[in-house]
Amino acid sequence: MQTVIQRLQIPENHQITLTLPPNIPPGEAEIVLVIHPTKVQRRPSEEFLKLAGALKDSPHFGGNHDPVQIQRQLRAEWEG
């Protein structure tokens, strides 16, 4: 058994061509293909960007504050 690793771009039509190294003997073989994406490209949602923008100026999330104290302040605000 031999392991061959090749990095390639998966095209829109999802068809790929592999060229095996010359040390792989010709003849019947069983091939296992494992797809491991090297980069996941996700764009943040518009809602998330709005939320992140709103939180940047929040007094609760700026600086080095004690998380327990932040939670107590938030609860006090919620309970009114």
Q: Residues 24, 4: contact at Cβ < 8 Å?
A: yes
Q: Which residue has the higher pLDDT, 4 or 58?
A: 4
Domain boundaries, the chain: 1-36
The model's pLDDT over 36-80, given as tens digits with 9 standing for 90+, comes to: 877 766 777 788 777 777 766 676 666 667 778 888 888 888 887
Neighbours of 20 (CB within 10 A): 13
pTM (2 decimals)? 0.38
**With helix as H, strand as E and coil as C, how does the chain read?**
CCCCCCCCCCCCCCCCCCCCCCCCCCCCCCCCCCCCCCCCCCCCCHHHHHHHHHHCCCCCCCCCCCHHHHHHHHHHHHHC
| Statement: residue 13 has pLDDT above 90 | yes
Predicted local confidence at residue 22, as pLDDT:
92
